[in-house]
């Protein structure tokens, strides 16, 4: 099937929906979403704790303002965020949260009827607005409803297999209807990628099963650099075993982190902020406790853990503020946090880096935009604050949708786009034919598991030269083995074997970008913690990593960080 649309948004999560709404509202008549999932299934739905904005609704937050939000974001980022972008996000936060409220988002409320806010890690004020512990679910459903109201068409369960770029200009994409297996193309005057993160490149991830960085790989293979990919967030509190997210809201509501001696150990690592230190610091503190023998299940299968203790909050507060946490603990760990501490371990959670864009969401390819977790503007730098990811999606979803809507007026896909698209479809068909006729001496799921373990161990919470170099070699070896993978199921309808072995190619390439970027960054900054270079090195590394695809693997370049208001200082919490 050959389709043609003015604006094609790839991904139906919060960023994609918000961008589609913005482009639609800016007057573009023909905006469509192409999404691997029905929109409400996107991973935005699993965000739990909240969304940051200096609404100053909390009794202890009356002095809060956007500038303080901006500062906390920059400090949290270990000063790698571009400060002009952080400023825009902090200012826009207030408008966008009110807008979501006007659109019906069921935020929790204070007694005076205002939107409730709670404290979150790394923030000087309680500025995280929330809808119990299902904020992502509340926002995503509200956003989807607004897209429905506008009649925005969604091609759901359509997979994008290749982004077509010719002469530095986006022309569209090759797609597959997942339900029928039919390949096709979508010509587009402008394309926006909003495909989410790459968490599943790692073992022990909180992410959904489909967050494999596919959109990042699409852009990377189309010649767009990936930025700051070495910065991977490990959330301090993944549920031990399944690594399902135990929201930062648990600590925002007053939960304790406790080691096997019964100590609130954060007093050693962040004496002022305690459990509400930023995520990179809290995750490392937990891992240090485990590594030094003060965790539970030491050396046991599934790794060590510490306790997240909510018992002192009481049943009523847990039911009101953290009902999903209680439900998840019961269903997936067989424990009730009202009566028992929760076993938690640091778990891969977020990709700070992503497709390099400017503040308008525009990439270096004309007509190609990106927003949300797949993009890197950058506002999160080396460590994202909890509550800033939902915010990133709706702020930069809107701004990029606005910019794209404005740009696309008078810009249509160049002549010859159809030919380029047809050729690209042939390339995809050839790639599939190779997968179907592979030697089959290697097994895709095995390579995937080895990749995930390799990344967790070699480019994980604590890093060092030899460990990472070995990791790079291992990923390269896996890439070589991938050439011998064979897709065993040849059916057309909902062929998961084909989809998974196909996406593995992108996972391996993005993994290499992460590992090479980490190896080259000889300092510790935010989530990138090296035992061999323990300090931040602003002189040499206050700069963004840009990774370009070449036939030999990623080529690294660097670009300056935009500092406007706040000179980098040492981070203390």
Residues that bind another protein (CB under 8 A): 37-38, 40-43, 45-46, 55, 98-99, 101-104, 106-115, 131-132, 134, 137-138, 141-142, 145-146, 148-149, 179, 208-210, 241-242, 244-245, 324, 327-328, 331-334, 445, 487-489, 491-497
Q: How far is the CB of 94 from another protein (least distance, A)?
A: 9
Token duo for residue 19:
């961008």
CA 553 to chain centre: 23
DSSP E strand boundaries for 221-295: 226-227, 232-239, 256-258
CB-based burial of residue 442 (10 Å sphere; 0-12 exposed, 13-18 middle, 19+ buried)? middle
Catalytic residue among 251, 294, 448, 536: 251
Q: How far is the CB of 261 from another protein (least distance, A)?
A: 27
380 has catalytic annotation: no
Token duo for residue 146:
């607004």
Nearer Cβ to another protein, position 488 or 555? Answer: 488
Nearer Cβ to another protein, position 7 or 328? Answer: 328
Nearer Cβ to another protein, position 326 or 544? Answer: 326
**CB under 8 Å to 340, separation ≥6 — which residues?**
311
Nearer Cβ to another protein, position 357 or 502? Answer: 502
Q: How far is the CB of 324 from another protein (least distance, A)?
A: 7
Say how many Å lie between the first and final Cα of the chain, rounded. 56
Q: How far is the CB of 169 from another protein (least distance, A)?
A: 33
Q: How far is the CB of 225 from another protein (least distance, A)?
A: 29
Q: How far is the CB of 86 from another protein (least distance, A)?
A: 23
Nearer Cβ to another protein, position 143 or 519? Answer: 143
**CB under 8 Å to 350, separation ≥6 — which residues?**
197, 199, 232, 233, 235, 373, 380, 384, 389
**CB under 8 Å to 551, separation ≥6 — which residues?**
none
Is the link from the previous residue into 169 a cis peptide, with omega within 30 of 0?
no
**CB under 8 Å to 148, separation ≥6 — which residues?**
none
Taking CA 58 as the corner, what is the angle to CA 56 and CA 64, rounded to the nearest 5 degrees?
A: 35
**CB under 8 Å to 130, separation ≥6 — which residues?**
49, 50, 51, 107, 108, 116, 117, 118, 249
Q: What is the dihedral of CA 276, 279, 285, 291, to 10 degrees?
A: 150
Nearer Cβ to another protein, position 59 or 293? Answer: 59
Taking CA 342 as the corner, what is the angle to CA 336 and CA 343, rounded to the nearest 5 degrees?
A: 135
CA 89, CA 53: separation in Å to the nearest integer?
A: 9
Nearer Cβ to another protein, position 197 or 517? Answer: 197
CA 505, CA 244: separation in Å to the nearest integer?
A: 26
Catalytic residue among 235, 279, 294, 528: 235
Taking CA 199 as the corner, what is the angle to CA 195 and CA 205, rounded to the nearest 5 degrees?
A: 140
Q: How far is the CB of 284 from another protein (least distance, A)?
A: 25
Contact between 460 and 204 (Cβ < 8 Å): no
Neighbours of 462 (CB within 10 A): 13
481 has catalytic annotation: no
Q: How far is the CB of 496 from another protein (least distance, A)?
A: 6
Nearer Cβ to another protein, position 111 or 539? Answer: 111
Helices marked H in 196-278: 214-221, 249-252, 266-269
Nearer Cβ to another protein, position 37 or 368? Answer: 37
Q: How far is the CB of 180 from another protein (least distance, A)?
A: 8
**CB under 8 Å to 491, separation ≥6 — which residues?**
181
The catalytic residues are 235, 251
């Amino acid at each position: 099937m050959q389709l043609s649309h003015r604006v094609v948004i790839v991904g139906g999560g919060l960023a994609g929906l918000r961008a589609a709404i913005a482009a639609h509202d800016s007057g573009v008549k023909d905006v469509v979403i192409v999404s691997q999932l029905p929109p409400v299934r996107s991973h935005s739905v699993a965000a739990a704790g909240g969304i940051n904005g200096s609404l100053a609704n909390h009794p202890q937050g009356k002095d809060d303002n956007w500038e303080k939000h901006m500062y906390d974001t920059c400090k949290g980022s270990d000063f790698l965020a571009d400060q002009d972008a952080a400023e825009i996000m902090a200012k826009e936060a207030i408008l966008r949260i009110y807008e979501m409220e006007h659109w019906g988002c069921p935020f929790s409320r204070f007694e005076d009827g205002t939107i409730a806010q709670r404290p979150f890690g790394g923030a000087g004020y309680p500025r995280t607005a929330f809808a119990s512990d299902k904020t992502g679910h509340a926002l995503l459903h509200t956003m989807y409803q607004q897209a429905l109201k506008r009649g925005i068409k969604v091609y759901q369960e359509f997979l994008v297999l290749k982004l077509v770029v010719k002469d530095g200009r986006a022309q569209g994409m090759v797609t597959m209807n997942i339900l029928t297996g039919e390949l096709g193309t979508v010509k587009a005057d402008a394309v926006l990628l909003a495909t989410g993160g790459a968490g599943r490149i790692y073992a022990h991830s909180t992410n959904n099963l489909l967050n494999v960085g596919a959109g990042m790989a699409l852009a990377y293979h189309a010649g767009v650099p990936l930025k700051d990919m070495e910065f991977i967030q490990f959330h301090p509190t993944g549920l031990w075993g399944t690594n399902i997210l135990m929201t930062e809201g648990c600590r925002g509501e007053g939960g304790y982190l406790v080691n096997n001696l019964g100590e609130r150990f954060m007093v050693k690592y962040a004496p002022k902020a305690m459990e509400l230190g930023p995520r990179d610091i809290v995750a490392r503190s937990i891992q240090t406790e485990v590594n030094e023998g003060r965790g539970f299940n030491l050396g046991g299968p599934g790794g060590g853990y510490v306790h997240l203790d909510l018992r002192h909050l009481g049943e009523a507060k847990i039911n009101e503020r953290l009902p999903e946490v209680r439900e998840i603990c019961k269903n997936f760990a067989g424990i009730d946090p009202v009566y028992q501490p929760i076993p938690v371990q640091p778990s891969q959670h977020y990709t700070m880096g992503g497709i390099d864009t400017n503040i308008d969401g525009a990439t270096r390819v004309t007509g190609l935009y990106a927003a949300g977790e797949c993009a890197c503007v950058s506002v999160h730098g080396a460590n994202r604050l909890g509550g800033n990811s939902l915010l990133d999606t709706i702020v930069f979803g809107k701004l990029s949708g606005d910019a794209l809507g404005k740009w696309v007026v008078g810009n249509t896909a160049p002549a010859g786009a159809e030919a380029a698209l047809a050729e690209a479809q042939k390339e995809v068909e050839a790639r599939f034919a190779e997968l179907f006729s592979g030697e089959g001496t290697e097994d895709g799921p095995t390579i995937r598991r080895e990749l995930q373990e390799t990344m967790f161990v070699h480019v994980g919470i604590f890093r060092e030269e030899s460990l990472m170099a070995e990791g790079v070699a291992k990923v390269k070896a896996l890439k070589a083995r991938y050439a011998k993978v064979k897709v065993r199921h040849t059916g057309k309808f909902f062929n998961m074997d084909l989809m998974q072995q196909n996406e593995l190619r992108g996972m391996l390439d993005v993994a290499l970008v992460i590992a090479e970027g980490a190896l080259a960054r000889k300092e510790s900054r935010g989530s990138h913690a090296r035992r061999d270079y323990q300090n931040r090195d602003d002189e040499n590394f206050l700069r963004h990593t840009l990774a370009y695809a070449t036939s030999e693997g990623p080529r690294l370049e660097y670009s300056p960080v935009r500092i406007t208001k706040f000179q980098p200082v040492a981070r203390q919490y």
